[in-house]
Amino acid sequence: MATKKQADEFIGKIAPAAQAKAAGRTKWTLPSVCIAQCCCESAYGTSPKMMRANAILGIKVGKSRVHFGKAWKDRAYSTKTKECYDGKTYVNITDMFRAYDSITDAIEDYYDMLASCSRYRAALNQADPRDCITAIKNGGYATSPTYIGTIMNIVSRYNLTQFDSTVTKKDDGTDMPLIHNPYTEPVKNVRRGTTGNDAKWVQWCLWRFGLLEESGIDGIIGAKSEQALRMAQGRLGLSPDGVVGKITRQAFKSVLKGK
């Protein structure tokens, strides 16, 4: 278990890199979440094996050995880890993890991975740390059922949101809007068979909820869009009737914070 001094020193070491590598990205994720994950994965930098490999984020090599950017140079190391595939029981496995030339490279590869993989798209340009880490966890980053709570506890304990202004603030100091819906909000009900801009507005919301592929924003409310719409309504506690009226539109905007 790391001491407070070790934790503070580790955060002080990696926070500048987390901010620098997040800045300037069109598809960004929060430095606070990145830092908290680094703390969790590497035990605040006290894991000798991980630190020797500069592997502070525990990213696996994967069967396809995908390069998300240029930060990973094919270095790897083998180590034991625990996984919880059924949400209850942890099992010990041995796997290959990415090793890096520097901690900065590890952080860059992490951001590149999140920006490149469609399964993490709901985490992108998300200014709320809990929503961000929830999308990352649900995208397959971790199997522990307590992972979201663990990361959020670290974010809160060390006030890590102080490092998020790199991506969440404009140059004038005001809040930067998240990804805005580029389509005009409908004024009429949207249902199966609706086409054009109205359909795309709804499909964009469903994409941001992670219920529809980005390629599904095709301007036609068909079977897949209707199914995704009913699922979204159910999750929001609305009648899953597959019709987007004023109440559903307001609920969508509320969850997406108007973005």
Please write the tens of the pLDDT for every residue from 57-66: 989 998 889 9
The tens digit of pLDDT for each residue in 102-154 reads: 999 999 999 999 999 999 999 999 988 999 999 999 999 988 889 999 999 99
pLDDT given at position 213: 83
pLDDT band at 227 (very low <50, low <70, confident <90, very high): very high
Cα separation of 120 and 255, whole Å? 18
Q: What is the CATH number of domain 4-168?
A: 1.10.530.10
Cβ atoms 59, 51 nearer than 8 A:
no
- Domain 197-255 class, CATH top level: mainly alpha
CB 208 within 8 A of CB 154: no
Stated pTM of the model:
0.66
- Per DSSP, the three-state class of 92 is strand
13-48 pLDDT, tens digit per residue, is 999 999 999 988 889 999 999 999 999 999 999 999
| CA pair distance 156, 145, nearest whole angstrom | 19
Q: Given a cut of 60, is residue 171 above it in pLDDT? A: no
Q: pLDDT confidence of 162, banded at 50, 70, 90?
A: confident
Domain boundaries, the chain: 4-168, 197-255
- For residue 124, give the amino acid letter: L
Please enumerate in sequence order all residues whose Cβ is within 8 A of that of 256, keeping only pairs 6 or more positions apart, or say none: 178, 181, 205, 208
Proportion of the chain in helix, strand, coil states, percent, rounded to 5: 50, 10, 40
